[in-house]
Amino acid sequence: MACMNDNALRTVEAQIREQAATYCNVPGFVAGVYHAGEQIVVAHGTANVATGAPMRDDTGFLFGSVTKVLTTTLVLQQVDRGLLDLDTPVVKHLPEFALIAPGAAGKILIRHLISHTNGIDADLFFPDAKGRDALKTYVNGLASNCGALFEPGEQLSYSNGGMIVAGRLLEVVTGMPFPDLLERDVYAPVGMRESSTSAEQAILRSTAVGHFLDPETMAAKPTGMFTLPDTWGPAGGTPIGTIADLLAFGRTHLAGGVSPSGARVLSAESTALMQQVSHDMATPNVPPMGLGWVRYPFGDTTVLAMSGASPGGVSILCVVPEHDLVFAAFGNTPGAIMLQDQILQRLLSEHLDVRIPTLVTEMEQDVDLTPYVGTYRSNQLRIDVSIVDGQLEERTTYEPADEWQKRIFTEFAGGMTSAPPQRYVPIRPGLFAPAGYPQETFDGYLRLLLVSYHDVRDGQARFRNGGGRLTRRA
């Protein structure tokens, strides 16, 4: 195991400051590294361009989908306590849980919720509800608004809906609202002292807001919506905290479920289970999934990771067990994920001596494109795939179910509800890269930009996977 000493960590700190300062499209950035008993936190720039408030070491930010690992930890705690069994159907505890297709929800096991293999087609479902009944409202709305993309366990598709159903499941079996449970059973024992579950709490301390770049001037403008609705709490809509808090949570998973203060948060068995492969799509753009964690292979080294988009910002948490390292970061524009990817790869290659192989080594020229042409759909999303000038061209259209859904999605996307057509070139049959990108772009976290097609039957692919999310042939 390569090990950084204190001087090496100071070098890392200087490098992060340098990279953040030269990355002009992110107003504010904060990152932290824990390694083998030493820890640094680095802050740069502005937390809110409207107020000029600086980004500080202890500035809070929305965790976004990093929350999914916290939610999964809560589920495994109930397994440890004997209140839940991962192989039990969800409807045993939530008999009201249903989807549009009769009987579809009854096939979904608790395990499927937290491994993203449930098939719930609810990725853009944003019901409006606040307070104690928010998650109940979400689950009740699935029956008349959302269907199933695939049979449970058949495929893998990143699932906000699965995590929100898991949050409601936790409320039923513990008798506590999800925010209260998160504070009691994760924040407190882990030592996440600066974390909160609402904007009302976060406003009392230093908190960053997201920004979007003006397409004409490229100037950063603050988001018009700080959090997603309360109905999205367990998937990452509302929890807020600091880099130090995320590092403490990551260290807990490094230490077999024991927090930095010595408190037992999760059993060693459940901690290990979260890190094991639960489903593998066997395609480089979709890393193997654990429970909560995504297992990114960097050569022979596995990085347990989850990134989290919020309105105008993005966070990331990475745990590297074999090197006793945790990396966490937040940037307050969506493009910060590229900076985070650069820092992660530099940490691995320069400081841990991890060899990062080239993911895309060659491109096949003579690939039959016809199996992939057609229209693919998921919740309120349509992707039309055609052949143009010998390449695949994708046109993505958002089709809101109602004005409330449209308003939330539009705010979350910074006003952009459509994108220009995107061309793709074949790497091999069923795997494509966006045209114009250098091949080394995909070596790290940004392998998610690749697109794959799956389950070809009678000359047609049934599924398209982009960014870990499935759409199904219409």
Biggest distance spanned by C-alpha atoms of the chain: 61
- Residue 356 structure tokens: 């990062």
* DSSP 8-state class, residue 55: P
Size of the chain in residues: 474
Q: What's the rounded Cα separation, in Å, for the pair 197 and 182?
A: 8
Residue among 31, 255, 71 nearest 168 (CA): 71
CB 240 within 8 A of CB 197: yes
Give the gyration radius of the chain's Cα atoms: 21
Active site residue 65: yes
Q: Answer positive or negative: Cα dihedral of 119, 125, 128, 130.
A: positive
Distance of CA 345 to the CA centre of its chain: 18
Catalytic residue among 65, 195, 259, 307: 65
Amino acid at 88: T
Q: Where are the alpha helices (DSSP H) in 82-203?
A: 110-114, 134-145, 160-174, 178-182, 188-190, 199-202
Point out which residues pair with 33 in neighbouring strands.
40, 327
CB 223 within 8 A of CB 312: yes
Helix (H, G, I), strand (E, B) or coil at 126: coil
Helix (H, G, I), strand (E, B) or coil at 307: strand
CA–CA distances in Å: residue 238 to residues 62, 115, 230, 400 = 7, 21, 7, 22
Q: Answer positive or negative: Cα dihedral of 27, 331, 21, 439.
A: negative
Q: What's the rounded Cα separation, in Å, for the pair 469 and 118?
A: 12
Q: Answer positive or negative: Cα dihedral of 32, 47, 234, 163.
A: negative
- Residue 410 structure tokens: 């539009």
Q: What's the rounded Cα separation, in Å, for the pair 154 and 37?
A: 41
CB 108 within 8 A of CB 119: yes
CB 468 within 8 A of CB 450: no
Lay out the sheet containing 38-48: strands in order across. 53-54, 38-48, 28-35, 325-331, 313-320, 301-310, 294-298
Question: Could you list the active site residues?
Answer: 65
